């Protein structure tokens, strides 16, 4: 029989940890399909009859207050949380899989908490932006990537040239936002688009 390469998901199932939990991180720019991939893994876990709890930062209300929603419209029920400690308060003992969307909006303590959850023999799946609009490491995500067993970086399509995109371009009235703008600014297509390294623009004051 010809060799058939296995997906990363199948590889985790076959060769991943068998007697302890682990952390998976899905990263990339906006419009790369991070939430879509998170939802896909959540649904596969549910098909396997595993108990899943899904969390999201309460500040993310772009599409729904109580759902993880992909840009293509797929969604899964989620528990909105104000900070990372809420996960511990709301986590059921018999939960097997913990999923967190938009993890970059949570406080730095999220890394320690998710580590503890994985140490408690649970599978942890996170999705978030690895870089902010300036193209710099975003909040807790680099530390989370460092302690994770599996990291999948997904690319989008550059809205300017069509090349693979790894950056998130912030636009204010159609103009690239200044470097000194606020790091967290919730928005969708009216404020952001995916761009490649070459097309990503971040003007600085006086430059």
Q: Which domains does the chain have, with CATH numbers?
A: 8-155 (3.40.50.300)
The residues facing 97 across adjacent strands are 52, 123
Q: How far apart are CA 124 and CA 115, in angstroms?
A: 9
Share of the chain above pLDDT 90, in %: 68
Q: What is the model's pLDDT at position 2?
A: 44
Residue 1 has pLDDT above 60, yes or no: no
pLDDT, mean of residues 152-173 = 95
Q: How far apart are CA 34 and CA 155, in angstroms?
A: 9
Residue 200 has pLDDT above 90, yes or no: yes
Dig out the tokens for 190 from the structure. Answer: 């009216």
The bridge status of strand 123-128 relative to strand 22-27 is parallel
* pLDDT, tens digit (0-9, with 9 covering 90-100), for 78-92: 999 999 999 999 999
Q: How far apart are CA 148 and CA 112, in angstroms?
A: 12
pLDDT, mean of residues 59-80 = 70
Of residues 102, 108, 112, 201, which has the active-site annotation?
102
Task: Judge if pTM exceeds 0.95.
Answer: no
Q: What is the model's pLDDT at position 5?
A: 47
Residue 205 has pLDDT above 90, yes or no: no
Q: What is the model's pLDDT at position 7?
A: 56
Query: b or e along 183-205 (b: 16 or more beta carbons within 10 Å of the residue's beta carbon)?
Result: eeeeeeeebbbbbbeebbebeee
Dig out the tokens for 139 from the structure. Answer: 């909040």
| Least confident among 92-106, 113-127, 172-186 | 172-186
112 is catalytic: no
For the chain, give the mean pLDDT. 86
């Amino acid at each position: 029989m010809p060799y058939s390469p296995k997906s990363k998901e199948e590889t985790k199932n076959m060769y991943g940890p068998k007697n302890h939990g682990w952390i998976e991180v899905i990263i990339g720019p906006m419009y790369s399909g991070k939430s879509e991939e998170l939802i896909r893994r959540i649904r596969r876990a549910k098909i396997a009859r595993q108990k899943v709890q899904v969390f999201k930062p309460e500040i993310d209300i772009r599409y729904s207050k109580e759902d993880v929603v992909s840009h293509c419209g797929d969604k899964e029920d989620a528990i909105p949380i104000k900070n990372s400690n809420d996960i511990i308060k709301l986590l059921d003992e018999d939960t097997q899989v913990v999923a967190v969307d938009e993890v970059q909006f949570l406080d730095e303590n999220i890394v320690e908490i998710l580590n503890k959850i994985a140490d408690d023999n649970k599978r942890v799946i996170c999705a978030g932006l690895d870089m902010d609009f300036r193209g710099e490491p975003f909040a807790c995500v680099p530390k989370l990537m460092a302690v994770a067993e599996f990291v999948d970086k997904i690319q989008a399509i550059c809205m300017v040239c069509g090349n693979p995109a790894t950056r998130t371009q912030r636009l204010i009235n159609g103009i690239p936002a200044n470097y000194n703008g606020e790091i967290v600014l919730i928005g969708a297509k009216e404020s952001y688009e995916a761009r490649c390294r070459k097309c990503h623009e971040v003007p600085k004051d006086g430059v």
